[in-house]
């Protein structure tokens, strides 16, 4: 009798355990199902204005490179941002932080010294914050760049290219212009309060009297750049790979992307290895692999222009920026101009991907990492901007032939892959 009672109790307990297990399983399943459903819905939901359309870019498998290397090579399609590049994220973060800390107001001018994507992104997003954009660029930059900026409503100043240590380097002029806009705004406030200003001191200004102040974006040193990637690009990559990522690789200009993404991924898992791919003429490879950036002769500021010109744009630098200093790297690789050109044509022919020079260099980096780690790894890189921004140099056959860079490869033999 006692044994029947014990057996009954055991059966009842086992049934309870089984029922709660099924219930928990069902609960977990429906929870997962509704999260997936919510994710899909979020993707389809309308975005709130231009700024909200920035980021959450697709992460795509680059089929040709994945099949050739035996690794999963994934590219984050930053060229699909509204302003056409990875710099949209940075422009938004720089302006938002400046507004939040009271260094910029609606009606203010954001100034930047840049011949590239950041200026275009700032000019694209500034109106969404009720601000304007003033860009100072070297006068040897392609004329299309100033045309695009002006078409976007920015004011553009083209100046003679000089060393970064010269007070009239375009970055230094941009910083000065922000100060001038601030002075103009404070004079305007004095006048509005009926207080005296010395009219004779007044010099003709580039900005209208209604300006509320200026803010120098300073993409190289402003850590809002790093934070844009630590809070945006990094987490997106982690989510899109479900944490299944072995390595990240990218070239650096300001260093913001590499720093933000590497810091975030390594905070998530120290297993994720992060690498630099460096173009010709840049000192970063030496810094990462040997701890020394340059010889005294090579130091930025000792020459007018980079003596080892590269066809790639927006990447490679010979000084350490605050943004780059935040990067957490496991190593570095070098890439050549020829490899970047060949890679861009390979991606176009095999995958239909029409990318710019830095994206092509990043893919050279992804293959180098795949070769170093061996098959079976997942490697992520950034597709920074589209080939459309590079029609007059990187995608111009005449320009390439002038520099002996005409692409000739039929496959990936330029990366040592048969």
Ligand X SMILES: Cc1ncc(COP(=O)(O)O)c(C=O)c1O
Q: Which is nearer to ligand X, 212 or 310 (CB)?
A: 310
SS3 of residue 269 by DSSP: coil
State yes or no: residue 234 binds ligand X (CB under 6 A): no
Distance, in Å, from the CA atom of 293 to the CA atom of 281, rounded to the nearest integer, reads: 11
- Map the footprint of ligand X across residues 350-409, applying CB under 6 A: 356, 358, 384-385
Distance, in Å, from the CA atom of 25 to the CA atom of 21, rounded to the nearest integer, reads: 6
Give the contact letters, 340-359, x = binds to ligand X (CB under 6 A), - = no: ----------------x-x-
CA angle 378, 382, 386 (to 5 degrees): 135
State yes or no: residue 112 binds ligand X (CB under 6 A): no
Q: Which is nearer to ligand X, 355 or 412 (CB)?
A: 355
Least distance between ligand X and beta carbon 248 (Å)? 13
State yes or no: residue 332 binds ligand X (CB under 6 A): no
**Closest by alpha carbon to 415, among 350, 356, 371?**
371
User: Is residue 124 a contact partner of residue 94, using CB atoms and an 8 Å limit?
Assistant: no
Q: Which is nearer to ligand X, 117 or 378 (CB)?
A: 117
State yes or no: residue 88 binds ligand X (CB under 6 A): no
DSSP string covering 186-252:
HHHHHHHTT----GGGPPP-SS-TT---EEE--TTT-THHHHHIIIIIHHHHHHHTTT---EEEE--
The interface region with ligand X, picked from 207-215, 233-241, 251-259, 372-380 by CB under 6 A, is 251-259
* Cβ count within 10 A of residue 24: 10
**Closest by alpha carbon to 359, among 378, 377, 335?**
335
For ligand X (CB under 6 A), the number of binding residues is: 18
Tokens of 279: 């173009």
Least distance between ligand X and beta carbon 264 (Å)? 14
The interface region with ligand X, picked from 21-29, 247-255, 263-271, 406-414 by CB under 6 A, is 247-255
State yes or no: residue 184 binds ligand X (CB under 6 A): no
State yes or no: residue 262 binds ligand X (CB under 6 A): no
Q: Which is nearer to ligand X, 182 or 257 (CB)?
A: 257
Out of 104, 252, 293, 370, the only residue in the binding site for ligand X (CB under 6 A) is: 252
State yes or no: residue 254 binds ligand X (CB under 6 A): yes
Phi-psi region of 3 (alpha: psi -120 to 50; beta: other; left: phi over 0): alpha
Residues that bind ligand X (CB under 6 A): 85, 87, 116-118, 252-258, 314-315, 356, 358, 384-385
């Amino acid at each position: 009798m006692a044994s029947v009672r014990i057996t009954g109790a055991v059966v009842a307990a086992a049934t309870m355990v089984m029922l709660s297990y099924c219930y928990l399983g069902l609960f977990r399943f429906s929870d997962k199902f509704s999260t997936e459903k919510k994710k899909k819905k979020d993707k389809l939901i309308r975005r709130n204005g231009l700024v909200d359309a920035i980021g959450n870019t697709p992460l795509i498998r680059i089929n040709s490179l994945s099949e050739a290397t035996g690794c999963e090579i994934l590219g984050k399609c930053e060229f699909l941002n509204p302003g056409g590049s990875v710099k949209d994220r940075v422009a938004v973060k720089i302006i938002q932080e400046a507004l939040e800390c009271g260094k910029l107001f609606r009606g203010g001018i954001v100034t930047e010294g840049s011949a590239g994507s950041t200026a275009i992104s700032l000019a694209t997003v500034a109106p969404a914050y009720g601000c304007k954009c003033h860009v100072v660029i070297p006068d040897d930059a392609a004329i299309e760049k100033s045309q695009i900026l002006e078409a976007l409503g920015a004011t553009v100043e083209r100046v003679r290219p000089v060393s970064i240590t010269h007070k009239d380097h375009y970055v230094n002029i941009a910083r000065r212009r922000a100060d001038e806009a601030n002075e103009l705004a404070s004079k305007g406030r004095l006048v509005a309060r009926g207080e005296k200003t010395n009219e004779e001191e007044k010099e003709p200004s580039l900005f209208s009297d209604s300006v509320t102040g200026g803010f120098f974006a300073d993409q190289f040193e402003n850590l809002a750049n790093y934070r844009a990637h630590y809070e945006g690009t990094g987490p997106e990559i982690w989510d899109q790979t479900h944490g299944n990522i072995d390595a990240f690789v990218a070239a650096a200009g300001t260093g913001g992307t590499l720093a933000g993404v590497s810091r975030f991924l390594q905070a998530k898992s120290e297993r994720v290895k992060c690498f630099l791919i460096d173009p010709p003429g840049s000192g970063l490879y030496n810094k990462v692999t040997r701890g020394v950036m340059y010889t005294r002769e090579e130091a930025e500021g000792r020459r007018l222009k980079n003596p080892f010109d590269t066809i790639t744009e927006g990447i490679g630098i010979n000084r350490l920026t605050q943004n780059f200093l935040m990067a957490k790297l496991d190593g570095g690789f070098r890439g050549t101009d020829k490899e970047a050109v060949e890679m861009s044509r390979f991606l176009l022919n095999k995958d239909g991907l029409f990318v710019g020079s830095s994206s092509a260099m990043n893919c050279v980096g992804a293959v180098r990492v795949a070769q170093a780690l061996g098959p079976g790894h997942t490697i992520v890189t950034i597709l920074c901007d589209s080939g459309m921004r590079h029609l007059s140099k990187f995608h111009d056959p005449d320009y390439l032939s002038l520099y002996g860079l005409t692409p000739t490869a039929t496959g990936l033999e330029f990366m040592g892959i048969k």
